[in-house]
Structure 1
Amino acid sequence: MSTSSTHAVRAGRRTVEIHRPDKVLFPDDGISKADLADYYRSVAPFMLPHLRGRPLMLERHPDGIDGPRFMQKDTPDSYPDWIHRVEVAKEGGTVTHTVCDDIATLLHLADQACVTLHRWQSRVGRLEWPDRMVFDLDPPEGTPEGAPGDDFDAVRRAAHLLGELLDALNLPSTLMTTGSKGLHIIVPLDGHSPFDDVRAFARDVAQTLAAAHPGELTTAARKQARGDRLYLDVQRNGYAQTAVAPYSVRARPGAPVATPIRWDQLDDPATHSRRWTIRTALEQARTAPWDGPAPRPRALGPARRRLDALR
């Protein structure tokens, strides 16, 4: 049911109202709030397994992507009581994060002009114990965003080098374009190592790789120290840090989407971090790039011993 100011969408046992469905969120592309909600409703079967049970940080653009951006951690009292929440400790108090466990919640977030969802690396009930490790690869500073061709080559090569090192450590990994300029390489963990240990291990992996390829890669946190080298970013492995969730729309012209890909797609000349958009990501999702038996989560202990032997 629709009116000029609301659009009712059925989601399981619930009906979610999309207010001001014709509100344009992506002015250059004519993509409205209703379009955003339709996309998230369609992609939900592929997206929700990556969201369930994880605290979220919500990137909201109520006046469209050209307007103010709000990074929302605390769940407003106005959210429906059926939306899952989790209270998380922070310095000096707590924050109540939204958890997206179903299509209705995903649609409500779209109604709130939540364009992008950023998720924790751990789940409710085991918040101190991450079950994934993330390496963030972006082109060197100064590379024009969206430029075709060579700007992605450094990311592609770094991904191959990191994937080979992770294989040597017996750590299976998956790939995802970020919807921006780079890639995330994600390693499933068994959830028995705390955040500090995971981040330290990720840092040591990155430093080992950078030491082997000092002209191409760096772990320098200061931009001025990186030069034209690609930065191996492991900061998303800390407590309460987030990474963009698979199939999230990014608040950029064209509405690019953070999209899982197969390793054999990495060298496809057409593959680029801006390739999949709100209009095409569902087709890629249906190819089930992360389908089949999921990589078995690994413990860090054996991988740590293998890494120490290589250093």
Structure 2
Amino acid sequence: MSDEVEVAGVRVTKPDKVLVPGAGDAPEVTKLDLARYHEAIADLVLPHLRDRPISMQRFPDGLDGPSFYEKKVPSHFPDSVRTVEVATGEGPQRQVVVADTRTLVYLAQQACLTPHAWLSRTDRLERPDQLVFDLDPSVPGLAAVRRATALVGELLDDLGLTSVVKTSGSRGYHVVVPLRRLQDFDEVRDFARQVAQVLVEREPDLLTLEARKDRRGDRVLVDIMRNGYGQTLVPPYAVRARPGAPVSAPITWAELGSVEPDQVHLHDLDRRLQRCGDPWAELPRGQGLGGARRRLARES
């Protein structure tokens, strides 16, 4: 193969470089494979990335080599890549915003396997439009994390909030509530913590808020800490940095018992989309938390 290949107007150099080794039936993924995948899924993932600063998880020598997270936009990035200035504890810095297919493909050229996106948008960075529960199992097995994820969805439904679910592409599931941008991150995280506390009180042998793994036992962590300024979530259809290139796949609530957290891979996503479509094609409208807070107070 040539030393470079053009994809969506981006020069992909060293296209044969293996970024992700194969695993089981999943083949290895080269830089060109990732670039073409980003081009193919752009219409699905861009609505979840546009107007959000990202942190880039980069693997210059592939998954088997050193990696790093990069928040500040590198000086060599072209002017065509949109950026936004954000406030940090170290002062203001500019971060990448994925606004178009070309930028998404350019991330592949930069060996960025996974873009991690903020829960807020550039015009109101202090006010999230998503609330997230990350269900992380402490021990192998799916029964507990599936039960935990279902309990989160059921309680949110009881509180009058419509939620959606996706695989993490790793070991658990993400439950997402689209929000109206009425509250800041502290208020949203406080609400998420109250929800998690109710769940833990109901199912203390199954669920925990304990972040330290050595204190969880075999309980499932209901992680609400992503609901903070500058914190991020893997967007739908993003590749995870694991052998075989699993992706974070939107699923329906009915699929929770049948689709494993790392079951959907880059190489077979097209077949899934042809069979099932995009479960997040029409997300619920943003919701306020006022009514849910009042209902939650009655649950506590």
Do Structure 1 and Structure 2 share a fold, with TM-score over 0.5? Answer: yes
Deviates more, 1:97-106 or 1:224-233: 224-233
**Offset of residue 30 of structure 1:** 2.8
List 4+ stretches of structure 1 deviating above 6 A: none
**Equivalent runs, 1:94-105 vs 2, <5 Å:** 94-105=92-103
Amino acid in structure 1 at the alignment position of 2:203: H
User: What is aligned with 2:144?
Assistant: 154
Give the corresponding residue for 2:12: 18
Equivalence for 2:128: 130
Structure 1 unmatched runs, 5+: 144-150
Looking at structure 2, the residues matched to 43 and 36 of structure 1 have their Cα atoms a distance apart, in angstroms, of: 11
Q: 1:303 maps to what in 2? A: 292
Q: Which runs of 5+ in 2 are unaligned?
A: none
CA contact (8 A) 1:56 1:120 kept: yes
Paired position in structure 1 for 2:107 = 109
Counterpart residue number, 2:60 = 62
Evaluate the alpha carbon distance shift between residue 45 and residue 165 of structure 1 in structure 2; reply closer, same or farther with a 3 A threshold: same
Mapping for residues 1-311 of structure 1, pairs under 5 Å: 4-9=2-7, 11=8, 15-28=9-22, 29-140=27-138, 142-143=139-140, 151-268=141-258, 271-286=259-274, 287-292=277-282, 294-311=283-300
- Amino acid in structure 1 at the alignment position of 2:37: Y
Output the CA distance in 2 between the equivalents of 1:88 and 1:297. 24
Q: Aligned with 2:128: secondary structure? A: coil
TM-score (norm 2): 0.95
Q: How many residues align?
A: 294
Question: 1:139 & 1:80 partners in 2: Cα distance?
Answer: 40
Distance in 1, Cα, partners of 2:113 & 2:16: 15
> Match of 1:54, SS?
coil
Moved more, 297-306 or 209-218: 297-306
Hey, what's the Cα distance between the residues in 2 that align with 1:309 and 1:296?
Answer: 25
Higher alpha-carbon deviation: 23-32 or 95-104: 23-32
Q: Shift in Å at residue 291 of structure 1?
A: 2.7
TM value normalised by structure 1: 0.92
Equivalent residues of 1:16, 1:104 under 8 A apart: yes
Cα distance in 1 for residues equivalent to 2:288 and 2:121: 17
